[in-house]
Every structure is written in structure tokens, then in C-alpha cells.
Copies of this chain bind each other. A is one copy, B any other.
Amino acid sequence: MRTHYCAEVNENLVGQKVELVGWVNSHRDHGGVIFIDLRDKSGIVQIVADPADSTKAHKVAEEIKDEYVLKVKGLVRLRGEGLENPKLKTGKIEVVAEEIIIENKSEVLPFQIGDKSVNEELRLKYRYLDLRDPNSLNTFILRSKVTKAIRDYFESNGFLDVETPILTKSTPEGARDYLVPSRIHPGEFYALPQSPQLFKQILMVAGFDRYYQIAKCFRDEDLRADRQPEFTQVDVEMSFVEEDDVIAAIEGMIKEAFKVAGVEVSLPIPRMTYAEAMEKYGSDKPDLRFDLPMVDVIDEFVDSNNEIFSTIAKDKKNNRFKALKVPGGDKFYSRKMLKELENFVRKFGAKGLAYIQVKEEGLKGPIVKFMSEESLNKMIDKLKPEVGDIIFFGAGDKKTVLDYMGRLRVKIANDMGLIDENEYKFTWIVDFPMFEKDDNGNPTPLHHPFTMPDMDTWDEEDFESIQSIAYDLVLNGYEIGGGSIRIHKEEIQEKVFKMLGIDEMEAKEKFGFLLDALKFGAPPHGGFALGLDRVIMLMTKTDNIRDVIAFPKTQKAQCLLTGAPGEVDKSQLKELHIRVKKPKADNE
């Protein structure tokens, strides 16, 4: 129906006839001549309907309204001098309409295309109008291209794209599964997969050697700005590999994917141990676009004359004493703002926020007097503070201190504008603990129970010291993916289950088919999963995941466009042998 896309019309076509289709982006009557900005996927071109050229085309143009669908035949000409629009790709030319056909009309829109100030619910209800915004379209063009680059990368490296099932059985990822009642097996349910984890491991046992899939995954959890109930994961698994092999393969993918978004990632991506990340940044997903590391000063408070401090400092295993030097922070933060910082950390369990201001006249702050001169000097040696700096202190229970000091670090960077929004700082976090303590002090897997422990660190007496061969990929403070080497030997798997207090019966019931598979020649294998939605979020610098998903769901797990979920026929439920027992509304 067209000879060109709108934005393809350029000076080279001057004097030629073109046929274009698209939407009326805007139109105006200027002294009896009607100017139309016609928009399609490619962009905008100006159409001129002048009665002097074609009375018929002009007559049709008089009827048009915004978002009408037009077919236009016309002649390309240069715009008059001074009438060029440098903002438009097609700004040097215009198309003189010889024929205009209204392909379809439009009612008045509930909101202007591209107006993001209107209520998001309204935009999502009319998602097709919301998506007409060229910025939205560009997000999905980018997403499509990134996906393609990822696929190209894996295909050219010998990975097989294998589809794993959506109607499956619960996997032990820990979140809630979506359930699907089975009509053929009354009373039984399928689960939608939280990831293809077990299936990709099975493919390795089957000898597929290298697998990837861009897979839909599901978690029936409450929604957040960065979490949708269905999400997309770049899923990878490799056989006969060690950690370095998987990391190298994923780095190659990252490079290709980000190249599409105009970001050059230099390889190898640096690695940081989990312990270092926690101790320096108070997070296993540190934002490294700025540094501001925490420094350990616990030794400097063992001899403190403040008993609270010295008590804390004496238990180096369970407690932390951290200093966070902020260059220029004393100049930046007023007394009032410092009070706000204190209130901020209190929300995360801090009892207060001590600090030392570095003035021309010397260090200022109550904490100074609690330190011996020797310790103070040692600390100054470590921190090398300069006039205008401020040093914040966190002390107490390890987990709490690392958490609130890590958050404080990020808040300060935001406050002081230390973050370059155009930077992409990747890091691997490695050497994760295999287990963490649950609320009852028992071991629970930090990743999943199929993660290979580093057997050199195995310690029956101190499960917290056991490391796993697991790795997360972190970008700008977000975990964008993670993976591990998996257990391929039955005896190690049994050891892990025993540590977790999972007995044979339970193991068999939950993951029996994987355990069976390990008995028949499972190769060493490992893999990775990348959160594609989040990657696109970071590439497009949005903090709303709904911007990168064509048909998103809202906080209330509702698709505003379709109205899903919805009621269904009783007969359908009867066929599934299920009954709904709705909770009574509050006013009943």
C-alpha cells in the first residue's frame, strides 16, 4: 500500500511521486493550506494539501482529525527556504498531496499520544494509544534487537534453542507458583515454571551440551515497580564447564546485547567476592558507578573508652564497625540534612549516626574523644581524610550495620549527584555462601539446593562458612542475572539435602526426576539466567518495568487492557472439578 515509510522520504526523492500511509500526528490550516504531519513506525513527514495543487485532496484534508489513518499519494518537493525543520529527519522536504484517502477514522483520544502525565491506569487501558508514542515504540524496537543479538550470539557459539514446557510441576525456587487445574486429572494441578531450571539440567543429562532459551517465567507474588508476575529470562546451561567457562560465555552475550544499545562493555567484567561486596558496599549488588567504600575500623575501637563501642569491637565475628568517608561531604551536608541522614539509617535499624567532620581546625565530632590517640592516628592513616570531608560511622550487629551503611552510601551518592547516569558498571559477585541461616538458625540454600558447593570449604560444623560455586552479575546496583555450577553427583546432592534436613522421601517427591537423572551419567554442568526485562529497563533508563513490557499487569495483577483476570462460566469450573469459595467482602 506504500512506496516508502514516512521517514524514508528525503531529498533524493524530490520530484518523484510517493505513496505513504500512516496516522495524522497533527494538522493545521495555514492560510487555506492544510499541513499534516503523517506518522508511521519510521517517523514523521509533512504532507501539504493545497487547493491550488488538488482541490480534491484538499477537500478530504479538511475532514481529517488527529489519529485518522490516511493513504497519501503525492509529489516530493523541497520545503521553501526558512521553512526547514532540522528536528525532523524529513525536515528538508514535504509531500504535495495529489490524493488523500481516509483509510480509517478515529474518535477523540482519551489522552494525547505521548502524554505521560496522565494517569498510568488510563494509559494502560488504552495501551494501543500509549504505545503509539515513538518513545515506547523505540523501547520495543530496542528490545527486539537486543533479543536478536543474544540469539545470534548463542547460535553462533553452538547453543541449542530448546523450548521447555509451561505446563509443568512446581520447582523449588521458593516463590508462589501459579497453578493450572487439570481437566483430565481431576484435583491435580500443573504449575507455571518459575524458571526452566530442572529442565535445562535434564537437557544436560541428555547430552545437549549447550542450551539457551529466552523463556517466560512466572511468580505469583505481589507486583512492584520492577516486578511483573510473568517475566522473561535468558536461560543458559552448559556441560563440561567450570565457573570461568560460564562466566566467559555470559560476558560475550552481555557485550553483544549492550552493543545494540550503544554501550561498549569492556571484558573481562571485574569480579568481587560476596564477602568483599558486603564488607565494602553493604550489598551483594553494589552500584559501582561511584566508589565510597566502607572501611573497617573495628580494631580502632577495641580500646575505646566508650564501653558500648569497645564491647561491639570485641566481637569481630558478629559485629562490624564501619567508617564511610565522603569527600566534600562536610561542605555539602548541613546540620539539618545530617539529621535527615540519621533518620534515614534509623529506619534500617541504626541506633544513631555518628560522624566526624574534617574542618580546617581538625577533626570535629564526639566520636573523636572516644578513641585513643594511637587508634585515631591509625584510622586517619587508613582513611586519609581531607578538609571538607565527612566520615560516617556505623557500629553494631554485622548484618544491620552492613545493610544500613550500604543504603547510606547509595543515598549519599544520590544526594551529592555522584552517579553518572550514562555509565554502565558491571561486576560479577562470586564465592557466595552455600547456605544462610533461616529464622530458626537452620541452613537454607542461598541459591537453590542444586548449586555445587565448593567442597574445599565444606564444614559439617559451620555451614555458614561453606561456599558455593555461584555467581551473580550486577549492573549499576541491580542484580541482572545469576547462575552456578550444579551438582552432578548423587553423593554430593545427598550431602546437601542432609545438611538442609531434607529427607529422602521429601527429596524424591519434590525433585525425584532430577535425582534419578543424576544416576545415569550426568555430566558436570552449570548455567546462568539473565533477567531480560530488567536489562531493557537499565538500557532505556526507566524505573517502571511496565515501560518495557508490551502488555503489562498493574500492581493489582490486572491487565487493564483486557481486564484479565475475569469471571468464568460455572460449567467450565465444573468440568475442572473446582469450586470457588470467595472471601466475604468487608461490608458483608
A residues with a Cβ closer than 8 A to B are 1-2, 21, 23, 39-41, 67-69, 103-107, 109, 126-132, 137, 140-141, 143-144, 147-148, 151, 155, 160-170, 176-192, 198-199, 202-203, 205-210, 216, 218, 220, 222, 229-230, 232, 239-242, 245, 488-489, 512-513, 516-517, 519-524, 549-551, 553, 556-559, 561-568, 572, 575-583
Contacts and interface: CB of A to CB of B under 8 A. Distances in A.
A540 to B, nearest CB: 15
Contacts of A186: 580, 582-583
A557 B185 contact: yes
A447 to B, nearest CB: 21
Contact of A207 (B39, B220, B230): B39
B199 A551 contact: yes
A553 B568 CA distance: 26
Given A1-B524, A137-B207, A166-B216, 19 more contacts: A1-B242, A21-B239, A67-B520, A68-B521, A128-B202, A128-B517, A140-B208, A163-B549, A164-B551, A165-B553, A167-B178, A167-B230, A169-B566, A178-B180, A179-B572, A182-B565, A183-B220, A187-B580, A577-B582
A179 B1 CA distance: 40
Contacts of A206: 127-132, 137
Number of copies: 2
A243 to B, nearest CB: 12
A24 to B, nearest CB: 8
Contacts of A583: 186, 577
Nearest to A132: B207
B240 A576 contact: no
A169 B199 contact: no
Contact of A151 (B148, B202, B577): B148
A104 B488 contact: yes
A179 B512 CA distance: 27
A140 B181 CA distance: 30
A163 B557 contact: no
Contacts of A41: 207-210
Nearest to A156: B148
B581 A579 contact: yes
A71 to B, nearest CB: 8
Residue from the set A126, A130, A562 with the largest chain B CB neighbour count within 10 Å: A562
14 contacts: A21-B240, A129-B206, A131-B203, A137-B207, A148-B151, A163-B232, A165-B230, A167-B230, A170-B568, A179-B181, A180-B180, A185-B565, A189-B565, A577-B582
A165 B559 CA distance: 10
Contact of A563 (B164, B230, B513): B513
A205 B129 CA distance: 8
A141 B160 contact: yes
Nearest to A489: B104
A104 B141 contact: no
Q: Which secondary structure characterizes the binding site on chain A? A: loop
A489 B106 CA distance: 10
A521 B181 contact: no
Given A188-B567, A206-B127, A520 B199 contact: no
A178 B167 CA distance: 10
A523 B239 CA distance: 49
A167 B218 contact: yes
Contacts of A151: 148, 151
Nearest to A141: B160
Nearest to A24: B521
Contact of A522 (B104, B189, B521, B550): B104
Given A189-B566, A230-B165, A524-B1, A561 B513 contact: yes
Contacts of A68: 521
B126 A520 contact: yes
Residue from the set A148, A191, A566 with the largest chain B CB neighbour count within 10 Å: A566
A105 B524 contact: no
Contacts of A561: 202, 513
A549 B168 CA distance: 14
Contacts of A216: 163, 166, 216
Contacts of A182: 557, 565
Residue from the set A23, A41, A143, A181 with the largest chain B CB neighbour count within 10 Å: A181
Given A127-B206, A582-B187, A563 B169 contact: yes
Given A131-B207, A205-B128, A161 B190 contact: no
A67 B103 CA distance: 65
B164 A550 contact: yes
A7 B300 CA distance: 63
A47 to B, nearest CB: 16
Nearest 10 pairs of A and B residues by beta carbon = A106-B521, A131-B206, A169-B564, A188-B565, A41-B209, A182-B565, A67-B521, A128-B206, A128-B205, A1-B240
Contacts of A230: 165-167
A259 to B, nearest CB: 16
A489 B295 CA distance: 67
A99 to B, nearest CB: 16
A519 B107 CA distance: 6
Nearest to A223: B184
B144 A160 contact: yes
A127 B564 contact: no
A218 B131 contact: no
Contacts of A565: 167, 169, 180, 182, 185, 188-190
Given A206-B128, A581-B578, A582-B577, A21 B520 contact: no
